[in-house]
Structure 1
Amino acid sequence: MLLALLGFTLVVQLRSNDADDGLAATRQEDLVRILSDLESEDSRLLAQIQELEQSKQQLNSEVGGREAAVAEAERRSQDLGLLAGTVVGRGPGLDITLSDVGASDVLNTVQELRGAGGEVMQLNGANDKAVRLVASSFFVDASGGGIIADGEHLSGPFHLLVIGPASTMSTALQIPGGVVASAKSDGGSVTMDSRSLVEVTAVRKAAALRYARPVS
C-alpha cells in the first residue's frame, strides 16, 4: 500500500508538471533543475521505503522471536513442573501392583524404573492415599504394616503408576535377580499392566528454596 501511494504521488506530480503550460516556455536550465529536484525527491522517497521495509522486517523478527521465546519458556515450565511433581502428567506407561512388599522393594522398583526411562510416577496405597514421587522421595517401613512415603502412610498392596517406555521398563523389572525376582524371594509379588494412557494426578506444592539461587 505504501509503495502504491508513493508511486501514485509521483505520477500525479509528473503529470501535473507536464500539464503545466508554463513549462513549454521554461528555459532548458530550469527544466534540468526541475528534473533534478524530482529525481532527488524520488530518491528520498525510495530511501524512506527501504527504511520502512527494514523496520517492518525487524518488528516481524522481534515479534516472532518473542513468541518463540514465550513458547519455549512455557514448554520448559511444563517439563520442570512434571519433574518437580507440581503439574498433572499423562502418557503411555505401566500400572504396577506391589503386594506384600516393604519399603526397600518399593525403593528398588522406583530406582529401576528411573533407570529404564520412567519420567513421572505416583504411588497409591490401598487406604486411598497417593504420593507423587520425585527425586527427593523416600520410603520407610511403617510400624503395624505399610510404608511411609514422603511422610504419608500408605497401606498395601500398592499401585505404582509410571509414565515412560512400557516395554523397556517392564523388561528392566524382570531381569534375573531384579525387582520381580527379589520381591518374589521375599514372599511378595510385582505384576505389571502396560497402558496406552497412564494419568498421574497427584501433585506436590512447589518447594520454597531458602538457600539456593540461580546463577545469572
Structure 2
Amino acid sequence: MSEEQSETGTGWPQPAVPGRPTGPDPRPGAPDSDEMSPLSPQGEPPGRQSPPDEPDAGDAVTVDLSSVTAPAGAEQTPPTGPAAVARRFTSAGAMIALLLGLLGFTLVVQLRTTSTDPTSAATRQEDLVRIFSDLDSREKRLRQDIEALEESQRQLRSGEQGRQAALQEATRRADELGILAGTLPARGPGLSVRFEAGSKPISAYRVLDAVQELRGAGAEAMQISGGDGAAVRIIASTYFLDGSGGDLVVDGRRLSGPFTITVIGDPTTMATALKIPGGVAASVAGDGGNVIVEDREVADVSALHAPVKLEHARPVS
C-alpha cells in the first residue's frame, strides 16, 4: 500500500482538490482581490450596509418583552410591577372601607336598640293607663296601711292605753283576715258586674279573667251569684269550671246564668280595669255577650266560705 492510501485510511488515494488561484484576476475590468476581501472594511459594495456587531458572550443582553404577545391558549401570567401593586392596594382599600361601613352601621343599630325599652315600646297605651292606675291604687292602700300601723305603734307605746290598744288592734286584724278568708261578711262601696251570654255561653276563663282584673284593681271582697240566687264567696283558693248547658261550677257548686259578681273596693278604678280595650268586657262582647257594670254605694258580700279544718297546724301562743 502506498503512502497516499495510508493517509486517507480507506486504501484509496485522496482526490486532488483544485486550489484557489492566487494573484490578480486575469479578467479584464475585474476588481482587485484586496477590494473583494471580506476582511477589508473598504470591500463592501456601495448601497450595502454592514451588519450590526454581534454581542460578545460576556456582554449582557436586554430584551423588551412588553411587546411580545402570548400565543392563543397559553396561560396569562399575572402582571407584576407598580401598576399591579397599586391595583391590589386599591381593591384592599375598598374592601376595608366596606367592612368599616358595615361595622359602623351595626354599632348604630345596637345603640338604638339598647337605648329603648322594648317592653314599654310594645305596650299599648290602654294597657299603660291600666298599669298606672293599678300602681296608684296600690300606693294609696300601702300608704293607708303605713298610717294605720304607725297609729297602732303610737297607741301601743302610750303606756296605760297599751293593753286596750293591743286588743283593738288584734280584733281589727282578725276581722280583716276573716274577710279575706271569707269567713266574715263585708259591706262597703263597690260594683255589681253582670255577665249576659250571647251566641256563646259565658266561659269559666272569662269569669276568672274578671276576678283577676278586679283583684288587681284593689278588690277586697267578692262573691258570685247565679240566676237562681245562689251565691258563692270568692277567695284565694276559689276555682271555676265550665258546666253543661252554659252553667258554671264554682268551688264544686253549680250556678246557672246570668252570673253577677258583687265586689267591694274603689268603684272607679275597678270599672276602668274591666272596660279597657281588649279587656274582659271587650272579650265577652267578641263572643256575642255583654258585661254590665253598675256602681254601688253599699255593696253587701254576705256569702261565707266554710273555714278549713286544720289537721297539722296549731297556733303559737
**TM-score, length of structure 1 as denominator length:** 0.69
1:186 aligns with 2:287: yes
* Structure 2 alignment gaps of length 5 or more: 1-157
**What is the aligned partner in structure 1 of residue 214 from structure 2?**
113
1:122 aligns with 2:223: yes
Q: Say which structure is richer in strand.
A: 1
1:169 aligns with 2:270: yes
* Counterpart pick for 2:235 among 129, 134, 142: 134
Read off the aligned partner of 1:80 and give its amino acid letter: L
Q: Once the two structures are superposed, what CA deviation does each residue of 1:153-182 show, in whole Å capped at 9, x if it has no partner? A: 000001110000000000001111000000
* Counterpart pick for 2:196 among 90, 94, 99: 99
> Percent same amino acid among aligned pairs?
51
Structure 1 segment 1-12 matched on structure 2, within 5 A:
none
Q: Which has the higher contact order (CA 8 A, sep 6+)?
A: 1
Task: Kindly state the Cα deviation for residue 211 of structure 1 after the two structures are TM-superposed.
Answer: 3.9
Aligned length: 156
Residues in 2 aligned to 1:107 and 1:172: alpha-carbon distance in whole angstroms: 14
* Structure 1 alignment gaps of length 5 or more: 1-59
Task: Kindly state the Cα deviation for residue 213 of structure 1 after the two structures are TM-superposed.
Answer: 5.2
Residues in 2 aligned to 1:211 and 1:183: alpha-carbon distance in whole angstroms: 43
Read off the aligned partner of 2:310 and give its amino acid letter: L
Residues in 2 aligned to 1:213 and 1:171: alpha-carbon distance in whole angstroms: 42
Where 1:61 maps in the other structure, the secondary structure is coil
Task: Kindly state the Cα deviation for residue 143 of structure 1 after the two structures are TM-superposed.
Answer: 1.6
Where 2:246 maps in the other structure, the secondary structure is coil
**TM-score, length of structure 2 as denominator length:** 0.47
**What is the aligned partner in structure 2 of residue 16 from structure 1?**
none
- Cα RMSD between the aligned structures? 1.6
Task: Kindly state the Cα deviation for residue 128 of structure 1 after the two structures are TM-superposed.
Answer: 1.9
Read off the aligned partner of 2:193 and give its amino acid letter: I
Where 1:181 maps in the other structure, the secondary structure is helix
**What is the aligned partner in structure 1 of residue 248 from structure 2?**
147
Read off the aligned partner of 2:169 and give its amino acid letter: E
Q: Say which structure is richer in helix.
A: 1
Q: Which is higher, the Rg of structure 1 or of structure 2?
A: 2
